Structure 1
Amino acid sequence: MGPTPGEPWQFRLPSGGAGTFGSVRALNGFGRLVLGTLLAGVLVAALLLPAAVGIGSATNAVADAVDNAQADPLDGQVPLRTTITDSTGATVATLWKQNRVWVPLASISDYLQKAVVAMEDRRFYAHTGVDWKGTVRALLRNSQTSGTQGGSTLTQQYVKNYLYLVNAKTEAEKADAIATTPIRKLREAKLALQLEQTHTKAEVLEGYLNLVAFGPSQYGAEAASEWFFGTSADKLSLAQAALLAGMVNNPPKYNPLDESHVEDSRTRRNLVLDVMASTGAVSKEAADEAKQQDLGLNPQRIPNGCVNADNSAVNGYFCQYVLDYLRNAGFDNDTVASSGWTVKATMDPKVTESAKAAATQQVDPTKAETTRIANTVAVVGKGEPRKVLALVANRPYGLDTSQGQTVQRLPTTFAPLGSGSTFKIFTAAAAMADGYGTNYVMQTPAQVSSPLAPGRVFKNATQYPDSMTLAQALATSPNTGFINLEGDVGLQKVADMSVALGLKGYSLDAGDVDPSFAGAGTDYAAQVVAQKIVSFTLGVSPVSPLELSNVGATLASDGKWCPPTPVDTITDRDDKLVTWTAAACEQAVPAELARTLAVAMEGDFTGNGTAATAAKGAGWNWTAAGKTGTTQEYRSSAFLGFTPEMSASVVLWDSEPRPQGICKDPIRTCSTDEALNGNGVGGGGVPAVTWMNTMKPLKDGQPNTFFAPASPQYITGSANTQVPDVRRKNIDDAKAQLTAAGFKVEVATRQNGGAAQNIVLDQSAFPTAAPGATIIITVSAG
């Protein structure tokens, strides 16, 4: 019965259901033959009728298939592998979801082009995208049997592979792209016809040879040639090309690197050669000669990812940080691994080699007594952009824990045990920003308490004079002087200064820095203040070695903080630069403050500075500034040092659960009692030596360079820190002078002072004090 006037004609299945071919498999014998004939007619009609007539109006399903074909443009971005290089262009790692390198057709062997055409579609140059005879024959054959027979042209295969490998994102979409149904065949054929209307045969063949799988996880001629033969696609021999062409049909079955399929691959290769000879693609003599050759294998497997990369034990930490950095910039791992980028990292191989040798020489991860110990080095250049030059650890990057390997992000994550007195830098900088100078004289008693922590006593690790300048304190590191200074300046300002100079991680949720603060609802710096962590200046907080290194770079860069970047440039598949948004540089402290603090920190390398012994032992003769650090139970220690050109931090800690103390001579993990009994490793030990051994090879043969001069303003400090000398003055004059300078005054008397009554014998602070401090003057009682 014909259609009702005005209604589209619909083909009805015998069951009466409209618009579905799902019941094809339920038919058999004569029914399949009849239905196959009908399907063939529907297919041809659907492909030939103009759109105005209502293409595919034979059934609802055909209409949907055509609509899908129109909605499936073949203009997605074909996944290509991405390469990460170091600063010299040497490969650090390759990343891929599909190992593929796109090359033009001219860079693909003629042998491979001819072999694929001969084997997959010998009428390729004659049809317009669909081989009508082959397609109808396949539909009829498939309708009469329970199996399936191909009828796809090379163009149709390209379409199917494109839909599966490029367009399909979900498992359902992938299943639909390769479903063995007439509907899929119709959509595929329609797209093939459209493709050949807009592309030349050469373009279709180029796309096909770059797209399809030639081996398990190996896509495209170039990557496959490299993987199986260690060569490029343009240099394939006839025998190699035939082997690859034969694999397209069933990559796992014809994989010559699988010992169980070597003979399958050889037989398939020889079949390809015979077909090439029969079609005139090559002479019979050339085919026979190629059949006598071995498989020509010379595998060059391209490792995927940071862990599997060549030299990943050394470069893996940097590689992982590149991926972390790109993810934070908005490029997830899947995007990176499929974009076909060249990511030029800032990693300097010379700096990396030196840092790795120094870290491992000091702490051998293969020894039983040191397997728990991480000795990390992060090196950052000065200026902007702030290039990360090296990220290494003594422990190799990798998955083999029996070899001391780890995939912890040791140089970049938060080392949970802190970096000790390196944090006194923040207290000093906060004080200088508040008006203190490096000549400020601080009191350094044997022990002190803080009003923020009533009942808690803080002690020095060794004996010190009763007082010393801030510059001297930075070199020798008395705890009590910095506890007092932190109290005078304020914990808030010290915590804020740590963030400003480079510890930006403290702006993250407190629980991300220290799990014990999970759910606190504030950033970590705020918790330092809220929880009154007085020992913050003593470096008890988790710290990122990379961020700590960048603190030195900030000071070396005239007080300008810049985000540490491991990526120099990203070039896409079309050789165009990829851009991304990074945090802007910020002036953390005035340039004069940074210069003065850097000059003051030079004292750590000389005299009785805590790193002086390491410097002398290494033969260090160049300008540098630094600060050592050791935590209370010797579970971690650190050294931050920087030259006028670059900064490096070394953080040493027990990186395993339930950390232990770290003892010296020889270095090893040990009990807390043993470490506290004079055996613990301090920042002036392994960390400082590691730093010297990292930096010295980089400076050897180089002339000395210098920091910019210190500023008198930040040496002496502001006027409100300058205490007048009122000794030998009358009490009233003394009080007037001190009050006029902004200080409070308390009076004590001394009998038999050897002076007239009310003459000042002594004063509690001179020549400097905290702004507004109370000055006690001692006067003679006569």
Structure 2
Amino acid sequence: MPEQKRTARGVVGGLLGFVGLSAAAGVLVTAAVTPALAVTGITANSAIGVFDDLPEYLEITPLMEKSNIYAKDGDKNVLLASFYEQNRVEVQWDEISQYLKDAAVATEDNRYYEHGGIDLTGTLRALVSNQLGEDTQGGSSITQQYVKNVRIQKCERDTDSKEELAKCYDEVAGVHYSRKLKEMRYAIGLEKEYSKDEILRGYLNISGFGGVIYGVESAANYYFGTSAKDVTLAQAATLMGIVNNPNLLRIDKPDNPDNGAENGYALTKQRRDVVLKAMLYYGKITQEQYDEAIATEIKPNITPPKGGCAAAGSNAYFCDYVTQVISENEAFGDSKAERVSLLKRGGLDIYTTLDLRLQKTEADALHSAVPSHEDGMKLGGTATTIEPGTGRILAMVQNTAYSANPDKGPGYTAVNFNTDKKYGGSSGFQPGSTWKTMVLVEWLLQGHSTNEIVNATKRDFHYQTCEGPANWAPGPKNAGDGGGMPGGMYTVQKGMTQSINTVLAAMGEQLDLCDIANTAEAMGAHSATGAELTHYPTTLIGTSEDTIAPLSMANAYATLAAGGMHCEPRAIDKIVKADGSEMKVPGKTCDQAIPENVAATAVQSLTQVMTQGTGRGGNPWTGPIFGKTGTTDAYKDTWLVTSTTEAANAVWVGNLNSTNFTPMNHKWIKGGLGSQVKFGITQTIASKTFELYGGNPFPEADKNLTRRILKDVPDVVGQSVEDATKTLKDAGFGVTVAEEQVNSTIEAGKVASTNPAGGERANSGSMITISVSNGKGTSVPDVVGESYDAAKDALADAGFTAKKAGSCEPGGDKDTVAKQDPGAGETGGEGATVTLTLYCGDNGDKGRGNDDD
């Protein structure tokens, strides 16, 4: 049958039950009645002795507080977002208005400064009321309420499931006499350890004010847009009225028919007025103050906190990256759950590396060129900047809007295209010709020169890798940024400047493809999925890697800008804990990935890309800059990665889907061709980095790595064209065969001569021209020392025509042959002319020659 209200007899029975349960607590009750005894050592020891089965002291653990992420705007720290389960900011005693303190005491525990932690009168009154079945009353002192809230918070912090939490709630907040005894015991122990002001401050900081709003500072800010220190009397009374029933009396529901804007928040006003009357009754305020406050309307100024990264606008993806770093790094806790809990409950102030001045420029530049959504394609775009030598991420933007809600539709996503999958990113993208920089660095590491000439003729190329030999025949497109370069003999520098695919293919023949992958990873370029980099020949032009994140590419180029010093990207400069102390966070992690001379030479090579080559459209022409363009298979993606000495930046624009995509060179986006938008974006960003950070000249290249390498040209005269070609190529030269055959005594069809000739020295990789014999040549006779007439006859007999030179050689016997051209033994065709230089004689004409016959 339904429970009925208890009679007086039932009340007495209940009281006796309570007394029976509390018989051992005589000393404790005495302490409650006599506060002077409650704080003495004798009484405390007696209480502990009587209540051996109750906990001795309550551990006051740090409150759950919201954590904040900040970015820099010049010298100013700007809040990006907050994270919390309980929106609380703990404040000190002098940061709380006296109105709030007086309102709490007058309403909740008017004898607070008189008792020793337990208001026995209120407790007994509540007990009688509860035993009679009337409205349940707490009857608890402020100290007891604080104890209960501390224990509730411990439940929320330490339990992992809803079932465990419900059980814990019942234990610490359920209607049990045993719970009351524990609260009383804890309250007296607490008052021995802390002053009244300290306990009241704790109470005001821990109390709930509706929803996820906790503590007077957050409540004052949320409901009235002010601080706990600056609330008015009416506002203070309103807030302390809300504490009585937070979710019923909250004033952020203007449409609530029972307690909303239309009726002036009637229920809250009624409770507020009770608080004001209590403050007047107990002498906390004057009649004049009371009259003014009671006549004041409740007018909320709801100021929502920036909860979560979605509130950070264009900074949201960087914000998300920071949260991912915290959740993944063991420096913030042993498990991921602990790290997330620390972020939402730890009251951390997280000061990041983000520079809002550059961030705004990057966001404006990207969004003006790349919309969040484009009909007919899944369009993506990013820009990210990192500081060489530190790894500090200065900016990170994306074309889409941040949202974890899949129902938002196109143009929204929580996936960060800038970063690795581990940190909330995608699986990465194909880097295209920006990857050629990794090949260049490995080329230099192996001692090669940028001025070496390689045979970039389109052909089958043959490679060595750690996985065995491999072959590759590049396709018809022979330039990584969409141009069309013919094959031939080119310097490595020319190949980089113009992004000639077959130059890289030829370089790869002299390298180990596995070493290229290792060098790339050492520089900071790695797979966004955590997989190993590939060792296929097509990696030479960046088309076999499909999982490279823009942040990774920016970091690799930052390694070059820092003289080969690779630093892991980092987003956090400093973290301050709730107690004001600084938390140890992962600091700068750097290592010398490649030698300084190699880095300097690679940088100098890549500056030519920006001044003379494919990257010049992105050059702001305001300071030294290097970089590399990139276009991927079928124009799916387009890149430009650049760096100054102070900032490395990667811009990527492309398709998010790997199949059925739209070629970027066929798509016009906001009035610009999709494959070209990277240039304007980069130019704007680079201009801003020079403005903010400046930029120094790059170190000079190592002369040993830019030298022109000379090699001896093999003598192949008399060999077949096929054999001669192989001999010359094996020696490191290119070969071309002259179209017309030449007169020679060499057998027809064999090599008559080369240019340069055998035995001479020529640039490694340079072109050697082979002339083929027609077999009709005649050997020129030696006529030096003969008289002119005798020489003329001898040449005529051999089929040649003699001709006097225009001047004579001083000395010798007059009209005797001093020189001939062609020389003796050289080959000439029938009727060919041989020029003869004669001596002038002792009394000659001092160089004047005679006329020809």
Common fold by TM > 0.5: yes
Give the Å deviation of 1:337. Answer: 2.4
Q: 1:421 aligns with which of 410, 427, 433?
A: 433
Question: How does 1:14-163 map onto structure 2 within 5 Å?
Answer: 33-43=12-22, 45-46=24-25, 48=27, 66=54, 69-70=55-56, 73-87=58-72, 88-145=76-133, 148-163=136-151
CA deviation map 1:253-280 (0-9, x unaligned): 1111212222111111111111222222
Aligned match of 1:189 = 184
Counterpart of 1:524 (choices 527, 532, 539) is 532
Aligned equivalents of 1:552, 1:364: Cα separation in 2: 27
Shift of 1:539: 5.8
Query: Using the alignment, how far apart are the partners of 1:699 and 1:477 within structure 2?
Result: 26
Q: Distance in 2 between the 1:747 and 1:700 partners?
A: 50
Identity over the aligned pairs, expressed in percent? Answer: 26
8 Å CA contact 1:415–1:543 kept in 2: the answer is yes
Distance 1:769 1:131, change over 3 A: farther
User: Residue 389 of structure 2 aligns with which residue?
Assistant: 383
Q: Within 2, Cα distance between the matches of 1:648 and 1:122?
A: 63
How many residues are aligned here? 702
| Preserved contact between residue 549 and residue 649 of structure 1 (Cα < 8 Å) | yes
- Return the letter of the residue paired with 2:504: F
1:424 positional shift: 0.7
Q: 2:562 is matched with which residue?
A: 557
Task: Say if 2:590 is the partner of 1:599.
Answer: no
Aligned to 1:568: 573
| Cα 1:759/1:701, change in 2 over 3 Å | farther
1:496-545 per-position Cα deviation (integer Å, ceiling 9, x unaligned):
11101112446xxxxx35xxxxxxxxx422xx13x776566336421111
Residue 314 of structure 1 corresponds to: 314
Q: TM-score by structure 1 length? A: 0.81
**1:361 deviation in Å?**
1.5
Check conservation: 1:414, 1:543, Cα contact below 8 A.
no
Q: Is the 8 A contact 2:147 2:187 kept in 1?
A: yes
Report the Cα distance in structure 2 between the residues aligned to 1:322 and 1:214, rounded to whole angstroms.
30
Q: Which one of 612, 617, 624 corresponds to residue 616 of structure 2?
A: 612
User: For the residues of structure 1 that align with 2:601 and 2:121, how far apart are their CA atoms?
Assistant: 86
> Which residue number corresponds to residue 466 of structure 2?
none
Give 1:138 deviation, angstroms: 2.7
Q: Compute the displacement of 1:495 (Å).
A: 0.8
Equivalent residue number for residue 335 of structure 1? 342
- In the TM superposition, residue 403 of structure 1 has moved relative to its aligned partner by 7.3
Residues 1:210 and 2:205 are matched in the alignment: yes
- Residue 518 of structure 1 corresponds to none
Q: Indicate if the aligned counterparts of 1:420 and 1:630 stay in contact, CA closer than 8 A.
A: yes
Taking a change above 3 Å as real, the CA distance of residues 601 and 208 of structure 1, as seen in their structure-2 partners, is same
Work out the CA distance in 2 between the residues paired with 1:754 and 1:33: 137
Alignment RMSD (CA, Å) = 3.7
Determine the structure 1 residue equivalent to 2:454.
Answer: 442
Q: How far off its partner does 1:406 sit?
A: 2.3
CA distance in 2, matches of 1:667, 1:97: 46
The alpha carbon displacement at 1:752 in A equals 5.9
Residue 409 in 1 paired to residue 416 in 2? yes
**Contact 2:645–2:695 (CA under 8 A) maintained in structure 1:** no
Find 1:304's aligned residue among 304, 307, 322: 307
1:93–1:319 contact (8 Å) kept in structure 2: yes
Hey, what does 1:712 align to over in structure 2? 703
| Aligned-partner residue type, residue 553 of structure 1 | A
Q: Provide the secondary structure at the position in 2 that maps to 1:473.
A: helix
Query: 1:428, 1:756 → 2: CA distance?
Result: 47
| Aligned partner letter, 2:602 | L
Structure 1 residues 44 and 93: CA distance shift in structure 2, 3 A: farther
By how many angstroms is 1:665 displaced? 7.4
Alpha-carbon offset, residue 303 of structure 1: 2.0
Residue 520 of structure 2 is matched in structure 1 by: 498
Report the equivalent of 1:355: 362
Q: Note closer, same or farther for the CA distance 1:141–1:443 as it changes in structure 2 (3 Å cut).
A: same
Structure 1 residue matching 2:402: 3-state secondary structure = coil
1:289 aligns to what? 292
Task: Note the C-alpha offset of 1:592.
Answer: 0.6
When residues 491 and 277 of structure 1 are mapped into structure 2, their CA distance, relative to the original with a 3 A threshold, is same
SS at match of 2:244: coil
Q: 1:301 and 1:346 mapped to 2: Cα distance? A: 25
Structure 1 pair 625–26 and aligned structure 2 pair: CA distance change class (3 A): farther
The 2-side partners of 1:714 and 1:779 are apart by 33
Instruction: List gaps (5 residues or longer) in structure 2.
Output: 29-42, 160-164, 260-264, 333-338, 420-424, 464-468, 776-853
Larger Rg: 2
- Between the aligned partners of 1:162 and 1:434, the Cα distance in structure 2 is 66
Quote the offset at 1:778 in angstroms: 6.9
Code of the residue aligned with 1:273 in structure 2: it is: L
- Taking the aligned partners of 1:657 and 1:399, their CA distance within structure 2 comes to 22
Q: 1:539 to 1:553 in 2, by over 3 A?
A: farther
TM-score (norm 2): 0.75
Which of 247, 250, 266 pairs up with 2:245?
Answer: 250
If asked which structure has higher relative contact order (CA below 8 Å, sep 6+), I would say: 1
Residue 82 of structure 1 deviates from its aligned partner by 1.7
Q: Structure 1 residues 539 and 643, CA, compared in 2 at 3 Å: closer, same or farther?
A: farther
Rounded to whole Å, the distance in 1 between the matches of 2:385 and 2:373 is 24
> Aligned AA for 1:107?
E
Give the Cα–Cα distance (whole angstroms) in 1 for the partners of residues 110 and 251 of structure 2: 25
Q: Distance in 2 between matches of 1:492 and 1:27?
A: 85
> 1:391 deviation in Å?
0.1
Which residue does 1:482 correspond to in 2? 504
Instruction: Say if 2:784 is the partner of 1:767.
Output: no
1:648 is matched with which residue? 649
The alpha carbon displacement at 1:727 in A equals: 5.2
Alpha-carbon distance in structure 1 between the residues aligned to 2:417 and 2:309:
15
The corresponding residue for 2:593 is 588
Structure-2 separation of matches of 1:393 and 1:411: 8
Are 1:695 and 2:686 matched, yes or no? yes
- Matches of 2:610 and 2:287 in 1, distance apart? 79
Displacement of 1:465 = 4.7
Cα pair distance change 1:702/1:411, threshold 3 Å: closer
1:234 aligns with one of 229, 235, 257: 229
* Cα deviation code 1:51-107 (max 9, x no counterpart): 9889697xxxx865x1xx34x732311112222111231111122221111111121
Given the alignment, which residue of 330, 346, 350 partners 2:353? 346
Secondary structure at the residue paired with 1:626?
strand
Cα offset, 1:158, TM superposition: 0.4
Displacement, 1:583? 6.7
Contact 2:5/2:134 (8 A) holds in 1:
no
The farther-off stretch of 553-562 and 413-422 is: 413-422
Secondary structure in structure 1 of the residue aligned to 2:341: helix
CA distance in 2, matches of 1:221, 1:53: 37
Alpha-carbon shift at residue 388 of structure 1 (Å): 0.7
User: Is 1:458 aligned to residue 458 of structure 2?
Assistant: no
1:179 shift after superposition: 2.0
Residue type matched to 1:186 in 2? L
Q: Contact 1:635–1:659 at 8 Å: present in 2 too?
A: no
Q: In the TM superposition, what whole-angstrom CA distance separates every residue of 1:474-503 from its partner, at most 9, and x where no partner exists?
A: 111122222332343122111111101112
**Larger deviation, residues 123-132 vs 159-168:** 159-168
* Equivalent of residue 712 in structure 2, options 718, 725, 734: 725
Q: Is the 8 A contact 1:374 1:395 kept in 2?
A: yes
- Structure 1 residue 469 corresponds to structure 2 residue 486: no
User: 1-side partners of 2:121 and 2:199: how far apart?
Assistant: 21
Alpha-carbon separation, structure 2, partners of 1:589 and 1:263: 72
Q: Which residue of structure 2 aligns with residue 7 of structure 1?
A: none
Counterparts in 2 of 1:748 and 1:455: CA distance versus 1, 3 Å: closer
Q: Distance in 1 between matches of 2:717 and 2:699?
A: 44
CA deviation vs aligned residue, 1:686-717 (integer Å, no higher than 9, x gap): 22321112112343599763111111122238
Are residues 1:266 and 2:269 paired?
Answer: yes
Counterparts in 2 of 1:376 and 1:666: CA distance versus 1, 3 Å:
same
